[in-house]
C-alpha cells in the first residue's frame, strides 16, 4: 500500500465529478445532482478500539489494512476509541503505546482517509482536552453514540 500524502482516489473523483456535474446545470439542479451521486462508497464499517494491549490494537489495524486491500476506495472506515483504547490517539498516552501503532494510525488517516474518533467521555474522565489528542483525531462527546449514529447511517459495526 502506498502511503502518499494525496487524497484518496474516491475523494478526488467525487470532487471532480461534483465540479463538472454542476457546470451545465442550474444551481438547484446541480445541488440535487451532486447529492444524488455523493452517497459515498458502497461499503461502510466502524471499528471500536476499547483496550490498550498492543496485540489487540495491531489486530484491528491489520483488519483495517485487509479491508483497504480488498475494497481499495470502495470502503469508508471509521475507528472509535474509548476506555483504555483511547491512549492510541493521545499525544502523551498514560498507558504504553508503541510508536509504530501511532504511526500506522496517522498513515491510515492521512493516506487513506480513515477517520479516528476519540470518546469525549473517556477524555473527560482522564482530564484530557482536544489538544491532548493527535491532531487528526476527531472528538465526539460520547463514543458509543458515535458508533450508534454511524450504524444508523449504514455502517457495519466491528468489535473485538
Residue pLDDT, tens place only, 68-113: 999 998 999 999 999 999 999 999 999 999 999 999 999 999 999 9
pLDDT of residue 74: 95
Domains of the chain: total? 2
Question: Considering the domain boundaries, does residue 115 fall inside one?
Answer: yes
Question: What's the pLDDT at 26?
Answer: 41
Predicted confidence at residue 38, as pLDDT, reads 55
What is the torsion angle, in degrees rounded to the nearest 10, for the CA atoms of residue 28, residue 31, residue 37 and residue 39? -130
Say whether both 17 and 57 belong to one domain: no
In a domain, 113, yes or no: yes
> How much is the pLDDT for 1?
42
Domain assignment present for 1: no
Q: Is residue 138 part of a domain?
A: yes
Note if the pTM is more than 0.85: no
Strand partners, 46: 78, 157
Q: Which residues form the domain of 29?
A: 7-40
Residue whose cell numbers read 451532486: 34
User: What are the E-state strand segments in 50-103?
Assistant: 75-81
Residue 26 and residue 52 share a domain: no
Kindly give the parts of the chain with pLDDT less than 70: 1-38
Q: Is residue 2 part of a domain?
A: no
Amino acid at each position: 500500500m502506498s502511503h502518499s500524502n494525496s487524497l484518496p482516489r474516491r475523494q478526488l473523483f467525487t470532487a471532480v465529478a461534483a465540479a463538472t456535474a454542476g457546470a451545465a446545470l442550474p444551481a438547484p439542479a446541480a445541488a440535487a445532482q451532486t447529492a444524488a451521486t455523493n452517497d459515498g462508497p458502497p461499503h461502510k464499517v466502524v471499528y471500536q478500539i476499547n483496550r490498550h494491549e498492543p496485540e489487540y490494537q495491531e489486530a484491528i489495524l491489520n483488519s483495517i489494512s485487509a479491508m483497504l486491500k480488498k475494497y481499495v476506495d470502495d470502503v469508508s472506515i471509521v475507528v472509535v476509541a474509548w476506555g483504555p483504547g483511547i491512549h492510541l490517539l493521545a499525544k502523551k498516552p498514560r498507558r504504553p503505546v508503541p510508536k509504530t501503532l501511532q504511526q500506522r494510525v496517522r498513515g491510515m488517516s492521512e493516506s487513506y482517509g480513515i477517520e479516528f474518533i476519540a470518546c469525549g467521555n473517556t477524555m473527560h474522565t482522564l482530564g484530557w482536552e482536544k489538544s491532548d489528542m493527535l491532531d487528526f483525531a476527531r472528538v465526539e462527546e460520547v463514543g458509543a453514540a458515535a458508533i450508534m449514529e454511524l450504524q444508523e447511517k449504514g455502517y457495519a459495526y466491528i468489535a473485538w
